[in-house]
Structure 1
């Protein structure tokens, strides 16, 4: 969906703050300069500043002006903040924070999914798995279907707070999948592990589903730690997903 003028302005300023173009404690440019630079009205700039303040990126006040806040104050569960950080580049520290969050959240969510998933939920996860398998066999976009698989599991927990967390976890999941996909036979090896998770959910086996997802998470953790230790560049999430080449049948 195309963003409106307000959305584009928030996007521009938010990404600039996350990228460090405005230092912590400094002021963002005054309204007249932003209006001229971005070609927008003062009303748009003021509303955009309010949006950024609500996300914890800046603080506004009559005596202090508009100041950039440190990253610890940012709302890391806001999908825009995650998107800006993803486009700028995920730091190694941030990746490790997200790995910790994933290991806490996803097993609990999958356990709930094994108790609560509807037929519609399971059909959606099955479709995502079929897309992953098709990409392995015929080539194509594996990462997008992998992401749908895991987000489908989180939605199947039918817990609104866990579903909201999936937006923050999405950045890690996409990074993890990009790394795994780049490893030789990574997607091919992970398919049966995904199948084990889905089968446990279908069987209404919460302990089995939890254990199966932990096997997947720990494998992804090892892949990511290898990349972090090698100092190789992490995937940029603004780019299209990696495309697999066709492989022999699984």
Structure 2
């Protein structure tokens, strides 16, 4: 999809900040300079800066202009920030933080889901698993269904904060899934691990579900480590998800 002037300007400035072109604690060029450089109006630049403020990348104030904030203050749950980071390069630190976050949040959510899941929840997760299985066997978009599977588990917890977390985690989870699927046979080998999580949730066995979730997450971490060690190019999150070929 072609973005409008606001979207293009936001992407340009966001990528410049995340890549380090505008380092933390430095000022972004003033409006007249950005207008001339990007060929847009002051209104467009101002709206883009407002969006950057909302994402925690910059602060504004009289006499100090627009200044870049340290990465610790950026909203790492924002999909745009994740995409800009993928352009700049997915670092080991970023991927470590992601895996640690998953290991804290998901097993706890899955444990609760095993106790609170409804028939509709199970049907949605089963449908996502069927999509994953079809992609492995017949080819297709495995990542989309993998994401739906994990989102379904978080939603099945029926904890409003965890449900909101599922939306925030989407871009982060896609990062993990995109990388792990680049490993040969990674999706095929992970299918039984996903099935074990689902079976435990269906059975209402909270402890088994939590253990199975940890095994699944740790397996994804191992896949990511292998991909990083191989020095293969990492996926770009602004591109369509990688589709599997038929087995």
TM-score, length-normalised on structure 2? 0.89
Q: Is the 8 A contact 2:79 2:171 kept in 1?
A: no
Deviations 1:211-246 (A, max 9, x none): 111111111111112233344433222232222222
- Three-state SS of the structure 1 residue aligned to 2:67 is strand
Equivalent-residue separation in structure 2 for 1:180 and 1:39 (angstroms): 40
What is the distance in 2 between the residues matched to 1:104 and 1:43?
42
Q: In structure 2, what is the equivalent of residue 212 of structure 1?
A: 212
Matched, 1:21 2:14: no
The within-5 A match list for 1:187-226 is 187-226=187-226
> How many residue pairs were aligned?
247
Structure 2 match to 1:75: 75
Where structure 1 has 5 or more consecutive residues not aligned to the other structure, the ranges are none
1:140 CA displacement: 1.7
Q: Secondary structure at the match of 1:242?
A: coil
| 2:120 equivalent to 1:117 | no
Task: Give the stretch that moved more between structures: 230-239 or 184-193.
Answer: 230-239
The alignment's C-alpha RMSD in Å is: 2.2
Query: Any idea what the Cα deviations from partners look like across 1:144-192, whole Å, max 9, x if unmatched?
Result: 1111111121122222332333345334432332333232322222111
2:59 maps to what in 1?
59
2:157 aligned counterpart, secondary structure = coil
- 2:6 corresponds to: 6
**Alignment gaps of 5+ in structure 2:** none
CA distance in 1, matches of 2:74, 2:103: 22
Partners in 1 of 2:37 and 2:159 — Cα distance? Answer: 43
